[in-house]
Each structure stands twice: as C-alpha cells, then as structure tokens.
C-alpha cells in the first residue's frame, strides 16, 4: 500500500491503530492524573483554607472545569481538523496537554502563594480540557478512517484504549507514589507523577509524526469538498444523530467518572478507609478495560455496534444498586469487585464499539467536528459533573450511596433509549456515509449484509 501523493508507503491499519492508542493513552494519562489528585491531594494543598467537605467539593469543582473547557477544544480543533487535517491537530493537542500537566506538577501550594495557587490550578485545568477536547475526535478518526470496513470496530477501539490505559497509568503512578510516607507524598511524590508527562510527550509526538493523513480526509481534499463551516453543516444536516449520539455517551461518561473519581474519594474520605484499597482496584479494573475495549470492538464487527453497547449498558443498570451495597460493606474485597466490574466489565463493553459507531453516523466532511461535539458537549453532564452530582446525592442520602445508584439507573436508561432510535451502522461506507441527509428511524434501517 502506498501514498500516491507523497510516494511513501502508507502505514498499515495496525500501525496507525497503535499510534492512536499510544497517543491517546498519554493524553488521557495527563487528564486523569488530575482526577486522582483531586480526590486525594488537591483538597489538602490548594483548598486547605476550607473545611473538609468544602475542600473536597472545591477540588471536584476544578475537576469539572476541565470538562467545561473540553467543548472549546473540541469545537476549535474539530473545525480545523475538518479544514486542514487530522494529523496536525493531534500533534498540537498533545503538546498542549503535556505542557499543561507538567506545569501543574510545578505549581506552588496555597500555603506558598495563597489564593493564586487555586487560581493557577484552574487555568491549567482549562488548558488540559482544551487539549483533550481537541484530541479525542482526531485520535478516533486516525484509527477508524485507516481501518478496513470489516474491522473498523476493532481498529477504531484502539483509540478508546487510551481512556482505561491512561487511567491505569495514572492509578499506577499514584499507587507507587502512595508507597512514600505521607509527608513525602504530599511534598513531591504526587508532583513526580505530573512531571513524567514531559517524557511521555516526547514519545507520543515521535509516534504521531510517523503517521500520514487519513485516506478518507485525503479523498475529501482531492475532490475539493472541504466544508467551510463544519459545525454549521453538521447542525443543518444531521442534528438528530448528534443528539442521540450524545445520549449514548451518558452511560460511558458517568460510569468512568463515578468509579475512577468519586468512589475513590468516597472510600478514602467518607468511609475513611485506606485509599490504596480503591487505587489498587482501579488499576486492576482499568487494565481489564484495556483488554475488553478491543474485544468488544471486535465483537461489534461480528454482531453489530448496538448489541454490544446494549449489553454493557444493561450490565451497568443492573449493577447499580449491588455496587452501592458492596461499597458500603467497607470490606476490601467487596470494594475491589465494584471497581473491577465498573471500570472493567461495564466500561470496557460499552466503550469498545462506540468509536466505530459514532464515526459511521457522520459524513467525512464534518466528522471530526461531529465526534468532538458529541463527545465533549455531552461530557459536561455525563462526565465532568458526575463527581459533583454524586457528592450532592450522598448528602441527600445521609452519607449513603442509594441516591447515586438511582441516578446510575436513570443514566443507563437514557443511553439505552437513545441507542434504540439510532440505526445499526456496521457495514456502512465512510465515504459520504451520511452526507446531506437525516438518519432514518432505527426501525426503517435494514440490517447490513
């Protein structure tokens, strides 16, 4: 296979998928470090002027700020990704994330510079949000638009490996740092986790520089069909799949941030149990997620995107109340089961088929914008506000998790209903797959051959 435009051999789908997975893992490592630190560090170092619950709430609020900034990154980089190309945007977002994360590792504390410490923390969190907001769509399309149609679910899922992969690295880094005495951990141990980002930035940039522009976008360039305003065209031609796609995002975003952020804080702060119990279980669950994401992506190539997604969403719905019960037993092994099932089984099954599913819904001319908008705008509620909502629901439930479990059931139900009204996309051609038309109701779409 060669690239006629450059005379160079085009990279194989496997190599491109690996590049997408590695780059995405590095960026999500940077982003998730903040979530872990918000749960166990920042309330002590940057909001220690507040009392315990208020400090925790403030730390989670800055965590949510990153999600509020992500749509900005998604819209800006989505626009230029559809106008200029996927590769350039992926390199730029990687640099933004790496620099922002490293600067957090160097940031003075509240005791050192006063109120400027939390202010600077928020600014850097915004920078992280913009970076990861622009990265997502490009990483997915790098893998999906290079993949053969019959294996698009499998190769596309490699971009989604970055989420549990980044979480595994972040949890592993904090687990190692947590072996230090508490004083050393708070003084410099957590900072080392952030400063490692500089090394990872170099690795990620090297890998992404080796990949050329995607074939699907190159076709659009050659036909001179570049959209002048991708967001305008998206909203004019495909608002329905965009909104329904956002709905399918709810169970994915909620599950990840409930288990990786809020329940970590709940175990360590509300139950006053060793944070290592949760961190070790998060690490195992994330590793299981890394394995299950490509497996569920591959299964979606065989049976369809929607059946695999529905299985994961139903498991998340049914597991909601048992998870609350097991956490509240305060037993280490019961708590471990919750994190492993949530971040491994539920999340891995739901997330695997979504890269191909979402990509196949939209036309190439504005696909980067579509994925970025779908993922980042819905992520404000589905992901970023999850720890805050959960913390508020726990206060309503006198410190228990039952209201959170009820919210979990509601979120899963919303995603299942939205999936019901989207068509099955397995087998659909990417080139002009949905251009200039609204998707038909699910019941009118014939199953692919």
Average pLDDT, the chain: 84
| pLDDT, tens digit (0-9, with 9 covering 90-100), for 377-392 | 888 888 878 888 999 9
**What's the structural domain count of the chain?**
1
State the helix-helix crossing angle for 354-361 and 116-144, rounded to 10 degrees: 80
For the chain, how far is it from start to end, CA to CA, in angstroms?
27
For 400, counting Cβ atoms within 10 Å of its Cβ (0-12 exposed, 13-18 middle, 19+ buried), the class is middle
Q: At what angle do helices 275-303 and 354-361 cross, to 10 degrees?
A: 50
| Long-range contacts, 122-125 (Cβ 8 Å, 24+) | 122/62, 122/65, 124/100, 125/34, 125/62, 125/63, 125/65, 125/66, 125/69, 125/100
Give the CATH number of the domain where residue 89 resides.
1.20.1250.20
Query: Rounded CA gap, 412 and 408, in Å?
Result: 6
For residue 124 the two structure tokens come to 């850097």
Query: What pLDDT is attached to residue 1?
Result: 43
Question: 403 in a domain, yes or no?
Answer: yes
Nearest to 35 by CA among 293, 387, 323: 387
pLDDT at 262 over 50: yes
Does a structural domain hold residue 2? no
Within a domain: 183? yes
Is 411 exposed, middle or buried, given 0-12, 13-18 or 19+ CB atoms closer than 10 A?
buried
- Answer whether 316's CB lies under 8 Å from 255's CB: yes
Give the global pTM: 0.81
- The 8-class DSSP code of residue 2 comes to B
> Could you give the CA distance from residue 392 to residue 60 in angstroms, rounded to a whole number?
11
CA distances from 188 to 97, 106, 173, 195 (A): 21, 10, 13, 10
The total of other beta-carbon atoms located within 10 Å of residue 149's CB is: 14
Q: What is the pLDDT of residues 21-31, one digit of tens each?
A: 887 888 788 77
How much is the pLDDT for 259?
A: 92
Would you say residue 429 lies in a domain? no
216 located within any domain:
yes
CA–CA dist 64, 62 (Å, integer): 5
| 3-state SS, one letter per residue, for 390-404 | HHHHHHHCCCCCHHH
Task: Report the Cα 424 to chain-centroid distance in Å.
Answer: 23
Q: Does residue 7 lie within any of the structural domains?
A: no
Is residue 278's pLDDT more than 60? yes
Examine the pLDDT at 434 and tell me if it is beyond 70: no
**Are residues 114 and 412 in contact, defined by beta-carbon separation less than 8 angstroms?**
no
The stretch 25-50 carries a mean pLDDT of: 78
Q: Which domain holds residue 420?
A: 13-424
**Angle, helices 332-340/275-303, rounded to nearest 10 degrees:** 30
Per-residue pLDDT tens over the stretch 319-340: 999 999 999 999 999 999 999 9
Structural domain includes residue 75: yes
In a domain, 435, yes or no: no
Predicted pLDDT of residue 128? 84
Query: What is the percent of the chain with per-residue pLDDT over 70, rounded to a whole number?
Result: 91
Residue 52 has pLDDT above 70, yes or no: no
3 state SS of 432: coil
pLDDT band at 443; cut points 50, 70, 90? very low
């Amino acid at each position: 296979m060669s690239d006629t435009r450059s005379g160079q051999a085009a990279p194989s789908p496997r190599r491109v998928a690996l590049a997408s997975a590695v780059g995405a893992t590095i960026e999500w490592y940077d982003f998730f470090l903040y979530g872990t630190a918000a749960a166990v560090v920042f309330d002590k170092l940057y909001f220690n002027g507040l009392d315990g619950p208020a400090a925790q709430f403030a730390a989670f609020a800055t965590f949510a700020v990153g999600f509020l900034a992500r749509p900005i990154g998604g819209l800006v980089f989505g626009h230029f990704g559809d106008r200029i190309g996927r590769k350039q945007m992926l390199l730029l977002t990687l640099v933004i994330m790496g620099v922002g994360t490293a600067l957090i590792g160097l940031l003075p504390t509240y005791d050192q510079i006063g109120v400027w410490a939390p202010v600077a923390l928020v600014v850097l969190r915004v920078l992280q949000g913009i970076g990861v907001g622009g990265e997502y769509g490009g990483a997915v399309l790098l893998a999906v638009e290079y993949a053969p149609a019959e294996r698009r679910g499998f190769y596309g899922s490699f971009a989604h490996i970055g989420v549990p992969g980044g979480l595994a690295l972040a949890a592993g880094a904090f687990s190692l740092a947590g072996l230090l005495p508490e004083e050393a951990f708070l003084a410099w141990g957590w900072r080392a986790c952030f400063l490692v980002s500089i090394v990872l930035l170099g690795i990620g940039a090297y890998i992404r520089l080796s990949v050329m522009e995607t074939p699907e976008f190159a076709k659009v360039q050659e036909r001179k069909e570049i959209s002048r305003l991708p967001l305008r065209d998206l909203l004019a031609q495909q608002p329905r799949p965009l909104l329904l796609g956002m709905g399918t995002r709810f169970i994915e975003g909620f599950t990840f941030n409930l288990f990786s952020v809020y329940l970590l804080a709940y175990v360590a702060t509300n139950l006053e149990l060793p944070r290592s119990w949760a961190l070790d279980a998060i690490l195992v669950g994330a590793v299981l997620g890394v394995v299950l994401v490509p497996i569920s992506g591959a299964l979606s190539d065989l049976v369809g995107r929607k059946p695999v997604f529905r299985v994961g969403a139903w498991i998340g719905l049914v597991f909601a109340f048992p998870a609350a019960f097991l956490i509240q037993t305060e037993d280490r092994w019961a708590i471990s089961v919750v994190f492993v099932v949530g971040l491994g089984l539920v999340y891995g099954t739901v997330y695997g088929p979504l890269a191909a599913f979402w990509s196949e819904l939209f036309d190439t001319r504005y696909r980067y914008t579509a994925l970025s908008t779908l993922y980042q705008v819905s992520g404000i509620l589905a992901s970023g506000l999850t720890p805050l909502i959960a913390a508020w629901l726990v206060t309503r439930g006198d410190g228990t998790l039952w209201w959170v479990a009820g919210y979990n059931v509601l979120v899963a139900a919303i995603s299942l209903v939205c999936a019901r009204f989207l068509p099955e996309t397995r087998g659909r051609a990417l080139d002009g797959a949905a251009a200039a038309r609204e998707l038909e109701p699910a019941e009118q779409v014939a199953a692919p051959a």
